[in-house]
Amino acid sequence: MTEITETPPTDTITAPTPTPLPIQDALHEALDQADEERLNALLATAHPADIAHLLSTLPAKQRTALWHAESLVQSEVLAYVDDSIRAELIEDMPAEEVAAATEQMDTDDAVDLLQDLPEERVEEVLQAMDELRRLRLTQILSYDEDTAGGLMNTDTLTVRLDLRLSTVLRYLRRHEKLPEKTEALLVVDMENRYQGMLFLTDLITQDPDLKVREVMSQTVEAIPAQISTREVARIFEHRDLLTAPVVDENGVLLGRITVDDVLDVIRSEAEHALMSHAGLDEEDDMFAPILTTSRNRAVWLGINLVTAFLAAWVIGLFEATLQQVVALAVLMPIVASMGGIAGSQTLTVVIRGIALDKVNNKNAPWLLRKEVAVGILNGLLWAVVVAGIAIVWFNDYLLGLIIGAAVTINLFFAAFSGMLVPLLLKRLSIDPALAGGVILTTVTDVVGFASFLGLATAFLLPAA
Average pLDDT of the chain is 83
Domain presence at residue 204 = yes
Per-residue pLDDT tens for 362-375? 888 999 999 999 99
In this structure, the answer to whether residues 29 and 176 fall within a common structural domain is: no
In this structure, the answer to whether residues 225 and 314 fall within a common structural domain is: no
Asked whether the beta carbons of 95 and 122 are under 8 A apart, the reply is no
DSSP 160: E
Q: d(Cα 122, Cα 141) in Å, to the nearest integer?
A: 10
Q: d(Cα 376, Cα 411) in Å, to the nearest integer?
A: 7
**Alpha-helical segments (H) within 206-326:** 212-215, 229-239, 259-276, 290-316, 319-324
Q: d(Cα 452, Cα 405) in Å, to the nearest integer?
A: 8
Work out the average pLDDT over 224-251.
91
Asked whether the beta carbons of 280 and 362 are under 8 A apart, the reply is no
Range of the domain at 321: 290-463
Asked whether the beta carbons of 182 and 255 are under 8 A apart, the reply is no
In this structure, the answer to whether residues 344 and 399 fall within a common structural domain is: yes
Whether residue 114 is predicted with pLDDT greater than 70 in this model: the reply is yes
pTM tops 0.85: no
Q: Which one, of 197, 107, 104, lies nearest residue 152 by Cα?
A: 107
pLDDT-based confidence at 312, cuts 50/70/90? confident
Number of domains present in the structure of the chain: 3
Work out the average pLDDT over 309-324.
87
pLDDT-based confidence at 245, cuts 50/70/90? very high
Per-residue pLDDT tens for 382-391? 999 999 999 9
In this structure, the answer to whether residues 168 and 271 fall within a common structural domain is: yes
In this structure, the answer to whether residues 296 and 432 fall within a common structural domain is: yes
Q: Which of 144, 167, 184 is the last residue of a domain?
A: 144
Burial classification of residue 90, based on how many CB atoms lie within 10 Å of its CB (0-12 exposed, 13-18 middle, 19 or more buried) = buried
The residues that bridge with 211 in the sheet, in sequence order, are 164
Higher pLDDT among residues 446 and 26, named by residue: 446
In this structure, the answer to whether residues 418 and 322 fall within a common structural domain is: yes
Residue 70 three-state SS: coil
In this structure, the answer to whether residues 309 and 432 fall within a common structural domain is: yes
Asked whether the beta carbons of 91 and 78 are under 8 A apart, the reply is no
Per-residue pLDDT tens for 70-108? 888 877 888 788 777 777 787 777 888 888 878 777 777
Res 135: pLDDT:
86
Asked whether the beta carbons of 412 and 295 are under 8 A apart, the reply is no
Res 43: pLDDT:
86
b/e burial code for range 272-289 (CB count within 10 A of at least 16 → b):
bbebbbebbebeebeebe
Q: Which one, of 129, 356, 383, 406, lies nearest residue 230 by Cα?
A: 356
Q: d(Cα 94, Cα 92) in Å, to the nearest integer?
A: 6
In this structure, the answer to whether residues 321 and 367 fall within a common structural domain is: yes
Across 146-278, the runs of DSSP E, i.e. the strands, are: 158-160, 184-188, 194-199, 223-224, 243-247, 253-258
Domain presence at residue 413 = yes
Domain presence at residue 83 = yes
Domain presence at residue 298 = yes
In this structure, the answer to whether residues 244 and 313 fall within a common structural domain is: no
Reading across the β-sheet that carries 194-199, which strands appear in turn?
Answer: 158-160, 184-188, 194-199
b/e burial code for range 361-393 (CB count within 10 A of at least 16 → b):
eeebeebbeebbeebbebbeebbeebbeebbee
**Alpha-helical segments (H) within 5-106:** 23-32, 36-45, 48-55, 60-67, 74-77, 83-89, 95-103
Instruction: Return the percent helix, strand and coil in the chain, to nearest 5.
Output: 65, 10, 30
Please give the angle made by the CA atoms of 68, 73 and 74, to the nearest 5 degrees.
65
DSSP 127: H
